[in-house]
Amino acid sequence: MNTAKPFSLLILGSVMSFGLIGCKKMHTGVTPIPSAQRSAPEVGIPSGPVGGNPGGQDIGAGNRFPGGIDPNASNLATDIDGNTPLGPRDIEGNYILDREAFADQTVYFEFDSSVVSPDQKPKLEAVVARLQTDPAFHLKVEGHCDERGTDEYNRALGERRALSIREYLIAMGISADRISTISYGEDKPALFGSDELSWAKNRRGEFVLLIPKN
Amino acid sequence: MRALFLALLLTIPLQVRAQQEIVIDKTATATRVIPIALNGFTGEVASTLKFDLEVLGFEIVDSSKAQYNVTGTTTAHVEGRLIDQVTKASLFAKRYNASTRRAETHALANDIVSQLRQIPGIAHTKIAFKGQTGAQTEIYVADYDGSNATPITSDGALVAAPGWGPNGSILAYTSYRSGYPDIYVQDLSGKREIIAKYPGLNTSAAISPDGKWVAMILSKDGSPDLYVCRIDGSSLKRLTKTRAVDATPCWSPDGKTICFVSDSRGASGLFLISPDGSGMRKLRTVGSGKPTEPDWSPDGTQIVFTSQWRQFVICVVPAAGGEVTTLVDGEAPSWAPNSRTVIFSKRKQGRRLLSLLDVPTKRIKDIPQSLAGSSQPSWAK
């Protein structure tokens, strides 16, 4: 899969859902994600503030669904550049954090790059498959770097890596509000050496599966 | 003996006069290493004075080779007299009265520096940095020479990127205490607030020179971008909208421009932007590797940054852009209030340590290490 494909799918789907929601104030190019979860119940147009307001409402405000939970679709709209906002992160207390679930799915990156290379894609497919078994699962993506960047540049690069992985998962059908990101920059290396092997193992994205406690 | 003394009297003044005639313009004066002799000081006073002067491009030499001579005592209080070896004139003579010998010595060093370099002394100034003890990191504040290092956090978590507000009164930094990187603003009494805890990344806080605003990198909108908010976290505004890595903002001393790193528009570089988000433009850094971590000099004339190309190198570029001057190996540079000295960090056998750079002479002075590691220094100004 090349990188252009998921985004064209996104845009296509977005155009379709745009018509459904019909918000008159929405900016051109601000496209809600068509992430009606495959496993989520079909409830049609959500009730609540939007349904009760015939005049329509700006979904860009982010307050459309109190509590941030949209029963039908993520309210995290992908912008014209392809960036998808992050959802609330203070949910972790309600979940068991399973670091082993995707221990074999760690994604590795080239030097100073946040592009997910084709040989890493099967790992993302495995992650998607698992997430689709239970719509209550959430996912945390951790971005890491090797030591050959400066500390704060690497903190931003690690986040960019985690976000790139997240974008692929969204394009593969996972709702944006199920995936959070964190960057550790170069502060949590997998290996402590200063050699090519260590660097290659440290430029990575790791997954933590969040399983509801109840 | 008498003959030798006469000979010295004859030769030294001539030599020095010759030097002074060559050295005309101010730049040449700034880049000149000044030979100076220290006489009558002992112990901590002697070592502190030596360190303070070496940081500013002085070389401590024997009296016979010195252009200036500092004579003094370290009895009850530090006393010092600065003598011009050429004219034998006494430039000043003072007795210092402070709470510690160390503080008195720093005051003497400041007087010598302001007299001979025509810039304010920095020996009394403070730094903040990320300190490491074992697996723990905390934010530390110390004297500029690394002494009196004290942790100001006890988060037991990853911390990073301290940056001072004006007058050394407050610090902004990143802490992972909540499990995620958040931006804290703390005054030195210990009171602190979280000003940014958005989803994703919150880091690289830089407080504006007037202390009213904070520039920072957030990823809440889906990519690491540059934002500005008030010092209390309100009035958040997004300045950049890229899909690239934006990182490490700093402010111009007049507060009208923010310099930061971006990978957008192809090759990465330093960019300038107004705090209202207008006028984004690239800063020309001719002859640099990949630039990161800019810091704008307090006098507004230069930007120091880390050039990243296989290794880390400290470079300066005129604030208007142009040819880059490569200085020394190192990273994370931060200007002293004198716009001459830079503190930076370097990696040595897997450890991080702090070092001071006298930019015009390119002389460096390592700060004695009291912790397992020290990095990301920020100089209070």
Q: What is the pLDDT of residues B199-257, one digit of tens each?
A: 999 999 999 999 999 999 999 999 999 999 999 999 999 999 989 999 999 999 999 99
Q: Return d(Cα B320, Cα A120) in angstroms, integer.
A: 43
How far is residue A157 from each of residues A115, A163, B32, measured CA to CA in Å?
11, 10, 41
Q: Please give the radius of gyration of chain A, using alpha carbons only, rounded to the nearest integer.
A: 18
Structure tokens at B44: 């901590």
- A153 to B243: CB separation less than 8 angstroms, yes or no: no
The whole-number pLDDT of residue B121 equals 97
The whole-number pLDDT of residue A74 equals 64
Tell which CATH classification among 3.30.1330.60, 3.40.50.80, 2.30.110.10, 1.10.10.10 matches the domain A92-212: 3.30.1330.60
Nearest to B122 by CA among B352, B331, B298: B298
CB nearest to B332's CB, from A114, A148, A150: A150
Range B127-379 classified under CATH 3.20.20.70? no
The whole-number pLDDT of residue B74 equals 83
Per-residue pLDDT at A62 exceeds 80:
no
Residue-range domain boundaries for chain B = 2-117, 127-379
Residues of chain B neighbouring A152 (CB-CB closer than 8 A): 160-161, 203-204, 217, 247-248, 292-293, 376
Do domains B2-117 and B127-379 share one topology? The answer is no
Q: Return d(Cα B311, Cα B261) in angstroms, integer.
A: 18
CA B185 to chain centre: 20
Residues of chain A neighbouring B200 (CB-CB closer than 8 A): 86, 89, 159, 163, 180-183
Q: How confident is the model at residue A205 (pLDDT cuts 50, 70, 90)?
A: very high
- A182 to B242: CB separation less than 8 angstroms, yes or no: no
Whether the CB of B204 is below 8 Å from some CB of chain A: the reply is yes
Residue-range domain boundaries for chain A = 4-68, 92-212
Class of domain B2-117: alpha beta
- A156 to B312: CB separation less than 8 angstroms, yes or no: no
Nearest to B15 by CA among B64, B60, B57: B64
Q: How close is the nearest chain B Cα to the Cα of A180, in Å? A: 7
Nearest to A125 by CA among A76, A165, A178: A165
The whole-number pLDDT of residue B182 equals 98
The whole-number pLDDT of residue A80 equals 84
The whole-number pLDDT of residue B5 equals 40
ipTM of the complex: 0.90
Q: How confident is the model at residue A57 (pLDDT cuts 50, 70, 90)?
A: very low
**Rounded (10°) CA dihedral B130, B143, B315, B305:** 40
**Positions in chain B short of pLDDT 70:** 1-28, 265-266
Q: How confident is the model at residue A45 (pLDDT cuts 50, 70, 90)?
A: very low
pTM for this entry: 0.83
Residues of chain B neighbouring A85 (CB-CB closer than 8 A): 199, 220-222
Interacting residues of B107 by C-beta distance below 8 A, sequence separation 6+? B78, B96, B98, B123, B124
- A180 to B200: CB separation less than 8 angstroms, yes or no: yes
Residues of chain B neighbouring A157 (CB-CB closer than 8 A): 245, 247
The answer to whether the beta carbons of residues B377 and B345 sit under 8 Å apart is yes
- B308 to A149: CB separation less than 8 angstroms, yes or no: yes
- A148 to B244: CB separation less than 8 angstroms, yes or no: no
Q: What is the pLDDT of residues A65-105, one digit of tens each?
A: 334 444 345 678 888 888 999 998 888 899 999 999 999 99
The whole-number pLDDT of residue B332 equals 98
Residues of chain B neighbouring A184 (CB-CB closer than 8 A): 158
Residue of B nearest to A141 (CA): B200
Q: What is the pLDDT of residues B137-161, one digit of tens each?
A: 999 999 999 999 999 999 999 999 9
